[in-house]
Amino acid sequence: MTLTDQQPLGSPFSASTTADDIVGGLDLSGRTAVVTGGYSGLGLETVRALTAAGARVVVPARRPDVARAALKELKDCEIVPMDLADTDSVRSAAAHIRDRLDRVDLLMAVAGVMATPERRVGPGWEGQFAANHLGHFTLACELHPLLAAAGGARVVVNSSAGHTLTGIRWHDPHFRTGYDKWLAYGQAKTANALFAVHLDAVGKGDGVRAFALHPGKIITGLQREMTLQAQIDRGWVDEHGTVIGDGFKTPSQGAATGLWAATSPLLDGRGGLYLEDCDIAHVSAPGTPMDDGGVRAYAIDPDEAARLWSLSLAATGATPIPG
């Protein structure tokens, strides 16, 4: 992947495209998808669309009972207990999936947390970096044999325009001093984008291609750690919690770019790219407003991606991917 690859294709879809628009007419029978966060918000819309198109879907869930209730109407949907912030839990879930399946065609990393109070997990890791990045990193590494067995799998990682807040803080990635919930979120979202870059580099020899994306601005459970007043102050909602901000998508519209990444023939032979509004995003200049779209060069830099990969492998002890 080079910066010249990171430019819009002229996709037939747009910011207003819905999940149903993407899967309409698609037959995903015989395909298997693993969708994290698949029982609420964008993940639930993603699972609904995939199962409607005939795919079998496995949903790793930190709250299996909640997941079962949310997904009870859907066929070909299996729930596996998993906590992304606990790498032992991730390994256990991956082992269970490997025992049950012989291939995974789609791995969709939709789950995430945003702007949380300071939390330490595992050996003292910063919680947002752990749940948003290190958990998904571990899951992808442990499921790589099943992805390789699919002969053309795609991994789709939900990043965010929040990546524009900061690159990787190599001097202090776990915020040992001066925790800032928004910088921690921004770093985790940059990590999501860089993860896709290097996963694509090591996986493409096995036919595994990876993409990161900004789903758009959507009010979902992701805002659960923010007070209503904080959302009002940002101009997102009114005092009743009704969305009033400009440029917000519905959850179905928010799920569309991930589904496009997972299924579009326009992306055949491509990978390591950052997507938005059902197209490849442009590279944004430093200092441009977050809402102007695009991806910062540091979030798709192959050297930064390789460095993050090494850090993540050392931290998690995940099974290395040959490549």
CA 141 to chain centre: 15
Best CA proximity match to 140, nearest among 113, 111, 107, 112: 107
Q: What is the dihedral of CA 201, 208, 33, 283, to 10 degrees?
A: 40
185 has catalytic annotation:
yes
Is 138 in contact with 65 (CB distance < 8 Å)?
A: no
The pairing of beta strand 125-126 with beta strand 120-121: antiparallel
Question: Which position has the token pair 């430019």?
Answer: 7
Best CA proximity match to 316, nearest among 214, 195, 203: 195
**Annotated active-site residue in 39, 185, 274, 298:** 185
CA atoms lying within 13 Å on the CB side of residue 43: 28
Question: Which position has the token pair 């002890």?
Answer: 317
Q: How far apart are CA 121 and CA 140, in angstroms?
A: 20
Alpha helices for the chain (secondary structure H): 19-23, 41-52, 64-71, 87-100, 127-129, 135-149, 181-203, 228-233, 251-263, 302-316
For residue 286, give the DSSP letter.
Answer: T
Q: What are the catalytic residues?
A: 185
